[in-house]
Amino acid sequence: MNRVRKATTLLAAAALATSSATISACAPQPADVGLLTADGVTRVSVQTADYPAQREAFNVSARKLSAALLADGGDATNGNVVSSPASLLIALSMLRAGASGPTAAEMDAVLGLPAEGRDEAMNALLASLEKFDGDPSSVDEDNPPRTPVMHAANGLFVDKGVPTGEGYLATLAKHFGTGVYPVSFQDEAVTKPAIDQWVSKNTGGRIKKAPAQYDPDNTFSLLNTLYFAAAWQEPFDASDTRDAPFTKAGGEVINVPTMHTGTSMAYAEAPGWKAVDLPYAEGFVMRLILPDGGASGSAGSAAVSAEVLGQVAAKLSMAPVDMVYLQLPKWDHKTTFELRKVFETLGLNQMLATDKDFNAIQPDMKLTQAAQAANITVAEKGTIASAVTQLNAVGSAAAPEPQRELILDRPFHYEIVHVETGMPLFTGWVADPR
């Protein structure tokens, strides 16, 4: 194939000979592939509090992406789904930074991206998450840390033979803290291991390979990873974990290892659902949402729509902390997604079809692959979760009696939420905890 092919990679960009951008300081570099940074461009400092409207727009967009991912289901087995709407939103925001014309208008309308201050507000969101940044390889996953580790990284791999827009690179450096790795995609023996190693290092080894199938015809590849590890504010007593019944959709009853606690947390309910925010030791909560469905557990993941997620977030933000008895199964799930199907469902058809509106990134660039892989482990001590999105374009005192309870003994929805911004970092559906 002609080397001046349409960009069929992720989301990266590089005017390779002379410029690139800066990558997250904690994102390790792949072996044998050097990182280029944009000359004279550094990430600007912004404050999350300066962009309240944009932050809420991002949260609404993430909830929309969450609902779309759960409805798609990926390659989930037994109905279990885990995804990262935040990772997808960050990746799409980086793509949007290089979009123009009808594609830019479509992305703004479908995703509900802010009309003004979009890149600055995403910068603020990333900066807020960086307060919890750390090295995933340092985490003992059998003992999640009391101080959460929330590691986000953006990786841009571009072909040395294809020019990438300097303005695009400067924007990514200025607002996303992102640099570029110049590679030869046709040299699969070097480039594929480099991309896979980058993914593995930035997910603490929980995801070993990039989710999209390697294609030597690509010229541009953008990746975002998120890694989360945190202990519960109050760990569950492992000696109190025992098998308990869980009713699957359709009525089948199974016995699964289930944790129990009575502790303080925000609780809210409304017609159609009950929910709590189960706190981690600092900065994050796991939002657990039980849709109505009766003993049959007939409510499916699609019942938790973007609108319902917004209602839950609003009610829990105002809910008083109360004593709640919680019964929560343990689970360890993973899912991969072919994101082009998700984009089609959302209506991002122009974004998938254009070979002109991403010219600011690379000449005649056309998206060809998009994928996400995510996983999560939830147990007595805390939670470990990771995700990668790839866009190829080419106590001793007696406790008070709980006043509320949430018995998660049938299919339920969950989110890991960054408290300061309200951003749902991971989201999923537990249909069968086994």
Name which of 7-11, 88-92, 113-117 the model is least confident about: 7-11
Q: H-type helices in 354-401, by residue range?
A: none
Over range 39-47, report the average pLDDT: 78
- Cα angle 108, 366, 168 (rounded to 5 degrees) comes to 60
Query: Which residue in 226, 195, 227, 222 sits closest to 208, CA to CA?
Result: 195
Considering the chain, what percentage of its residues have pLDDT values greater than 90? 68
Give pLDDT tens digits for 255-305: 999 999 999 999 999 999 999 999 999 999 999 999 987 544 444 565 688
Q: Is the pLDDT of residue 148 over 90?
A: yes
Residue 164 has a pLDDT of 87
Are 182 and 34 contacting, i.e. CB atoms less than 8 angstroms apart?
yes
3-state SS assignment for residue 69:
helix
Q: At 101, is the pLDDT very low, low, confident or very high (cuts 50, 70, 90)?
A: very high
Q: Which residues of 25-37 are buried (b: 16+ CB within 10 A; e: fewer)?
A: eebbbbeebebbb
Q: How far apart are CA 320 and CA 316, in angstroms?
A: 8
Hey, what are 100's tokens?
């123009």
| Residue-wise pLDDT tens digits, 366-390 | 999 999 999 999 999 999 999 999 9
- Return the number of other C-beta atoms located less than 10 Å from residue 81's C-beta: 26
Checking if the pLDDT of 3 tops 80, the result is no
Return the structure tokens found at 17: 């000979």
**Closest C-alpha to 385, from 152, 61, 77, 70:** 152
Q: Is residue 408 within 8 Å of residue 66, measured between CB atoms?
A: no
In the chain, what percentage of residues exceed pLDDT 70? 88
Residue 345: phi and psi, rounded to 5, are -65, -40
Q: Which two tokens stand for residue 64?
A: 């929309």
Cα(101)–Cα(115) distance, integer angstroms? 14
- What is the pLDDT at residue 301? 60
Instruction: Give the residue among 23, 25, 87, 62 at the shortest CA–CA distance from 375.
Output: 87
Distance CA 114, CA 209 (A): 33
Q: What Å distances lie between residue 373 and 185, 211, 270, CA to CA?
A: 22, 6, 33
User: What is the chain's Cα-based Rg?
Assistant: 21
Q: What is the pLDDT of residue 53?
A: 95
Q: How confident is the model at residue 408 (pLDDT cuts 50, 70, 90)?
A: confident
Would you say 79 and 432 are in contact if contact means Cβ atoms under 8 Å apart? yes
Q: Which CATH architecture has domain 48-394+397-430?
A: 2-Layer Sandwich (3.30)
Q: What pLDDT sits at residue 112?
A: 97
* In the predicted structure, residue 412 carries a pLDDT above the cut 70: yes
User: How many Å from the N-terminal Cα to the C-terminal Cα in the chain?
Assistant: 46
Residue 26: band (very low, low, confident or very high) from pLDDT cuts 50, 70, 90: very low
If you ran DSSP here, which 8-state letter would residue 26 be given? T
Confidence of residue 403 (pLDDT cuts 50, 70, 90): confident
Tokens at 263, concatenated? 């502790």
Note the pLDDT tens digit of each residue in 48-97: 889 999 999 999 999 999 999 999 999 987 889 999 999 999 999 999 99
Question: How remote is the C-alpha of 420 from its chain's centroid?
Answer: 16
- pLDDT value of residue 264: 93
Q: Average pLDDT, whole number, for the chain?
A: 87
Beta-ladder partners of 323: 264
pLDDT at residue 49 in the model: 87
**Tens of pLDDT along 64-76?**
999 999 999 999 8
Contact between residue 8 and residue 218 where contact means Cβ atoms under 8 Å apart: yes
CA 273 and chain centroid, separation: 24
| pLDDT for position 32 | 62
Q: Which of 97-111, 375-389, 410-424 has the lowest mean pLDDT?
A: 410-424
| 8 A C-beta contact, residue 280 and residue 271 | no
Per-residue confidence at 22, pLDDT binned at 50, 70, 90? very low
Segment 350-357 shows an average pLDDT of 95
Q: What is the mean pLDDT of residues 218-238?
A: 95
Phi, psi of 393 (to 5 degrees): -115, 150
CA distances from 384 to 95, 113, 156, 238 (A): 28, 29, 25, 17
Comparing CA positions, the residue from 101, 97, 369 lying closest to residue 220 is 369
Q: How confident is the model at residue 179 (pLDDT cuts 50, 70, 90)?
A: confident
What amino acid is encoded at 275 in this protein?
A
